[in-house]
Amino acid sequence: MTGTTHQELIRDQFTRQAQLFSTAAPITNEAALQMIVRAARPSPADAMLDIACGGGLVVCAFAPHVTHATGIDVTPAMLDQARKLAAEKGLENVEFRQGDATALPYPDAAFAVVTSRFSFHHFPEPLAVLREMVRVCAPGGRVLVIDTYTAEDRAKAALFNRLELLRDPSHVRNLPLSEHKALFAAAGLGEPQVSFYELGSTVKNLLARSFPNPGDDAKIVEMFRASAADDRLGVPVRLAGDQIEFVRLRLFQGRILARIAGTGIRHRRPEHPLIEPVGHVVVV
């Protein structure tokens, strides 16, 4: 797709992936979704927003705990999946909208909870997205980011990103954990707290829901197979008979709590006038 914009690549890939991505076990894992909800500490009076909401799983997980839940995504086919899921669950306090994560169509301080899951590695300007998330987050609100990250070793990180780009041409770059943390500092949020959990899969299942260019699937298999011997990708890989097992989604989770004026929350003094760092959610 020479000459296409990045958003066109996103729409192409996730239009084709929409149904498979939205129903994949690592994506629909209920325990993982509930960890995100608990990290955000939602209240019944909260409104929440999920950036790059995909098939609406995060929005629907929050809906029973908040007054209103909104999802925004650039791909209409993903939004169709999200609306279908909400209808199946009988949720009436949700809304889905097409839009750009770097220019959110919402006023300042509109949401108490702002999340983004499995999306930052698709953003050419992740800091711009995080700043938009902070802008629309109200005082007393929470900003959470969940995404994969690479090894700190530059060679391993570069090879893993090459593999991901072969698998998904809309991929931009998985960041190492240190750069994820640096984004929060650059957005004026200070140092986040982090925690981790793992979701494993097989290369066969991963490729079943991916749409690489012809011939690239074989390259991906060989890269994983080689990494089982020398860890060149920087992620756990194991050969099990004719299967290649790996842990790509080793989730790192935390949360950022916005400072509530007049309360005595005891944390490091925030650099941002509204946000007090308690952590954020990211994945590997």
**CA torsion 57→59→61→67, rounded to 10°?**
-160
- Residues in a beta bridge with 245: 202, 238
Q: What is the pLDDT of residue 3?
A: 57
Q: What is the pLDDT of residue 172?
A: 96
Question: Angle at which helices 6-23 and 76-88 pack, to 10 degrees?
Answer: 30
Q: What is the pLDDT of residue 23?
A: 85
pLDDT digits (tens, 9 = 90+) for 5-50: 988 888 877 887 778 778 887 888 898 899 899 989 999 999 999 9
Choose among 235, 217, 213, 237: nearest CA to 225: 237
Q: Are the CB atoms for 181 and 147 separated by under 8 Å? A: no
Q: Identify the structural domains of the chain with CATH numbers, from first to last.
A: 6-152+170-200+248-277 (3.40.50.150)
pLDDT values of the chain reduced to their tens digit, one per residue, 284 residues: 455 798 888 887 788 777 877 888 788 889 889 989 998 999 999 999 999 999 999 999 999 999 999 999 999 999 999 999 999 999 999 999 999 999 999 999 999 999 999 999 999 999 999 999 999 999 888 899 998 889 999 999 999 999 999 999 999 999 998 998 889 889 888 777 777 777 788 999 999 999 999 999 999 999 999 999 999 999 999 999 999 998 865 555 444 544 333 222 222 223 333 333 333 333 33
